[in-house]
Chains A and B, each alone.
Chain A
Amino acid sequence: MNKILHKIYLFLILLFLYAPIATLVVLSFNASKTRAKWGGFTFKWYQALFQNEVILEAFYTTLLIALLSALFATIIGTIAAIAMNGMKKGSKAAFMAVTNIPMLNAEIVTGISLMLLFISFGMRFGFSTVLFAHITFNIPYVILSVLPRLKQMNPSTFEAALDLGASPVYAFFKVILPDIFPGIISGFLMAFTMSLDDFIITHFTKGPGLDTLSTKIYTELKKGIKPEMYSLSTLIFITVLILLLLVNKTPKDKKNKKGSLQEEIIL
């Protein structure tokens, strides 16, 4: 009896979570233009989507920004994590708090403050401002996925490499990097995902003429809903889903189950 209740409860939760998305996915295959009735299965909205040059350009911009911002954020974040790992407890906790705040901060606040910052520096809004903004909000995710890896490492490992004749740089690339690499990869994927589906911060930092997929969808929706947007949203959802699955798969922690990324982020 109890078991059945458990299952019903779980089913309801999943239903509420995924019903809107499922609707979207179903509608993206609906041949009828209205949302009210089912006009048969079709791929034509997907076809239309891939013939729409404005969308394709937005897609290209999104991908480029996601890749570049994830790449820079991974490099900066990894270095920051290594530095934080070497700090004393007090300053490490302080840095950790500072890193956590941007993630918990309302995106609209981050977006507006970045916008104001760029204005005060007299920067022209466009590709570079969006890229800077994305790097900024991506760094904490990288730190949070690399730091647990570093903590797990035996602190003597680096010294052991030096002891055996390695220079500090050689020791880093041969001994430290391979050990924390899964963390770096999951940090990169996390950053990539975050950049890919960001709307608010991009909206405030992009300026006219530049669009990512999310901002494009927003402007298109204002003109009236076209079914292509359903298929585009569906594709974005599936991409993000796959990326998240990858992120969750990378840290194969046999020993430290607490090190999982999600828990760290909740903290």
Chain B
Amino acid sequence: MSNRLIDLVNISKSFGSSLILDEMNLYVQENEFLTLLGPSGCGKTTTLRIIGGFESPDQGKVLFNGSDIASLPPNKRQVNTVFQKYALFTHMTIAENIAFGLKIKNKSKAYIQDKVKYALKLVNLDGFDHRMPDSLSGGQQQRIAIARAIVNEPKVLLLDEPLGALDLKLRQGMQYELIRLKNELGITFIYVTHDQEEALTMSDTIVVMNQGYIQQIGTPETIYNEPENAFVADFIGDSNILGSIMLRDELVEILGVKFACIDKGFGENKPVDVVIRPEDVELLSPNETNLNGVVTHLIFKGVHYEMEVEANGFTWLVHSTKMVPVGAFVSIAVAPGNIQIMNKPVSEDEEATAIDE
């Protein structure tokens, strides 16, 4: 409880008639790398803007170290933001850009100079002081935007899809860079992205959002391995999601075939959703299990082969390092531990009606 830095309590926000956030509750711990992940329009950016002070919630509290800052303007908050399109001041040099916040705080010249040097070193752009923003590449501009934010020593750094405009290679490099920065600075990062890979790579905690609701909060491992509902399973990585029946504890019927699993407590003969990751599907010789099928597609993906297998009316997505040719007959096996049982999303209907109102 003591290290809850930011606490969002019952936050609701709508623009015109569309409800963006509905009674959201979320807390952020000190020194955490928290990622808000979701498709566009899920409310993740709005959440970030509420924390940054650029939007005020229609209702609810924004607690920062225990005190409500919901009505505090952005220039009075101890958070700094890295914007999606850098938003550098184009008529100022790099050094002036970075010094912008410090000058407002009336810091001494020597202090500002030291800080600018330090910040440039931190983002690996030594000696760029007198360059103009336009002369820098996208990746460099983004680093300057980060440097400009962190010289102010914020308690929290907000990042709004900061890598969205960069190409793939650069993006991967910047991911490691961000992790390193966070560790060196020891401050809280709140990161917004729609890229699940980015979220899995960098975060301590991932908050999966959809249509203004939090779908699941957890570590990257739990989000990936134990998705709580079909939306999360589908959004994070590839997956086979099947409507199934939980016959009893540790036994589930998928496509008319009984599978052993390790989940309990769902009751008997209860309809559930089952998620099986493509890399967890094993392909065996025909009739080794009761689920037989035929390979219909095969693509080489580098690390593995991606195959599609038609079995009992369902197209299974399979990742495997072993190639099985198109047209081959196979049977499908899944280890009990790799079958993830989820409750049917009763809540999704409720959410849909709530948004219609």
- Chain A contacts to B: CB under 8 angstroms: 154, 156-157, 159-167, 170, 174-175, 178-179
CA distance A161 to B52 in the complex (A): 12
CA distance A156 to B85 in the complex (A): 8
Do the beta carbons of A163 and B91 come within 8 Å of each other?
Answer: no
Do the beta carbons of A163 and B89 come within 8 Å of each other?
Answer: no
CA distance A161 to B99 in the complex (A): 11
**Interchain Cβ contacts under 8 Å between A and B, 27 examples:** A154-B83, A154-B86, A154-B87, A156-B84, A156-B85, A156-B87, A157-B88, A157-B89, A159-B74, A159-B81, A160-B81, A160-B145, A161-B89, A161-B100, A162-B54, A162-B75, A163-B75, A163-B79, A163-B149, A164-B101, A164-B104, A164-B148, A165-B104, A166-B75, A166-B104, A167-B75, A175-B89
Chain B residues in 8 Å Cβ range of A179:
90-91
Chain A residues in 8 Å Cβ range of B88:
157, 160
In the complex, the number of residue pairs spanning A and B with C-beta atoms less than 8 Å apart equals 62
CA distance A167 to B75 in the complex (A): 6
CA distance A179 to B88 in the complex (A): 12
Chain A residues in 8 Å Cβ range of B237:
none
CA distance A162 to B101 in the complex (A): 9
Residue of A nearest to B100 (CB): A164
Residue of B nearest to A170 (CB): B104
Residue of B nearest to A159 (CB): B54
Does B152 lie at the interface of the complex (its beta carbon under 8 Å from any beta carbon of A)? yes
Does B127 lie at the interface of the complex (its beta carbon under 8 Å from any beta carbon of A)? no
CA distance A165 to B148 in the complex (A): 12
Do the beta carbons of A156 and B83 come within 8 Å of each other?
Answer: yes
Do the beta carbons of A163 and B81 come within 8 Å of each other?
Answer: yes
Do the beta carbons of A164 and B80 come within 8 Å of each other?
Answer: yes
Does B105 lie at the interface of the complex (its beta carbon under 8 Å from any beta carbon of A)? yes
Chain B residues in 8 Å Cβ range of A164:
75, 80, 100-101, 104, 148-149, 152
**In angstroms, how far is the closest chain A Cβ from the Cβ of B87?**
4
Chain B residues in 8 Å Cβ range of A175:
89
**In angstroms, how far is the closest chain A Cβ from the Cβ of B60?**
22
Do the beta carbons of B101 and A154 come within 8 Å of each other?
Answer: no
A162-B73 contact, Cβ under 8 Å, with A154-B85, A156-B87, A179-B91 = yes
Chain B residues in 8 Å Cβ range of A174:
89, 100
**In angstroms, how far is the closest chain B Cβ from the Cβ of A223?**
54
**In angstroms, how far is the closest chain B Cβ from the Cβ of A177?**
10
Chain B residues in 8 Å Cβ range of A166:
75, 100, 104
Question: Which of B74, B90, B105 has a CB less than 8 Å from the CB of A163?
Answer: B74
Chain A residues in 8 Å Cβ range of B85:
154, 156
Question: Which of B83, B101, B105, B152 has a CB less than 8 Å from the CB of A159?
Answer: B83
**In angstroms, how far is the closest chain A Cβ from the Cβ of B158?**
8
Do the beta carbons of A159 and B104 come within 8 Å of each other?
Answer: no
Name B56-86 residues within 8 Å CB distance of A: 73-75, 79-81, 83-86
Residue of B nearest to A167 (CB): B75
Chain A residues in 8 Å Cβ range of B52:
163
CA distance A162 to B77 in the complex (A): 10
Can you list the 10 inter-chain pairs with the closest CB atoms, starting with the nearest? Answer: A164-B101, A156-B87, A160-B87, A156-B83, A165-B104, A162-B74, A178-B91, A163-B81, A157-B87, A165-B75
**In angstroms, how far is the closest chain B Cβ from the Cβ of A235?**
37
Residue of A nearest to B91 (CB): A178
CA distance A106 to B269 in the complex (A): 82
CA distance A174 to B52 in the complex (A): 21
> Given known contacts A154-B87, A178-B91, what 10 new A-B pairs fall within 8 Å (CB)?
A156-B83, A156-B84, A159-B87, A161-B100, A162-B54, A162-B73, A163-B81, A165-B101, A166-B104, A174-B89
CA distance A174 to B54 in the complex (A): 19
Chain A residues in 8 Å Cβ range of B105:
165
**In angstroms, how far is the closest chain B Cβ from the Cβ of A162?**
4
**In angstroms, how far is the closest chain B Cβ from the Cβ of A175?**
6
Chain B residues in 8 Å Cβ range of A161:
89, 100
**In angstroms, how far is the closest chain A Cβ from the Cβ of B49?**
9
CA distance A72 to B246 in the complex (A): 77
Chain A residues in 8 Å Cβ range of B91:
178-179
CA distance A157 to B148 in the complex (A): 13
Chain A residues in 8 Å Cβ range of B101:
164-165
Chain A residues in 8 Å Cβ range of B54:
159, 162
**In angstroms, how far is the closest chain A Cβ from the Cβ of B84?**
7
Interface string of B91-103 (1 = CB under 8 A from A): 1000000001100
CA distance A157 to B141 in the complex (A): 13
Chain B residues in 8 Å Cβ range of A178:
91
CA distance A170 to B84 in the complex (A): 23
Residue of A nearest to B79 (CB): A163
Residue of B nearest to A177 (CB): B91
**In angstroms, how far is the closest chain A Cβ from the Cβ of B191?**
16
**In angstroms, how far is the closest chain B Cβ from the Cβ of A101?**
30
Chain B residues in 8 Å Cβ range of A154:
83, 85-87
Chain B residues in 8 Å Cβ range of A162:
53-54, 73-75
Residue of A nearest to B86 (CB): A154
CA distance A131 to B181 in the complex (A): 59
CA distance A64 to B271 in the complex (A): 84
A165, A167, A174: which has the most chain B beta carbons within 10 Å? Answer: A165
**In angstroms, how far is the closest chain A Cβ from the Cβ of B50?**
13
CA distance A162 to B80 in the complex (A): 10
CA distance A160 to B79 in the complex (A): 12
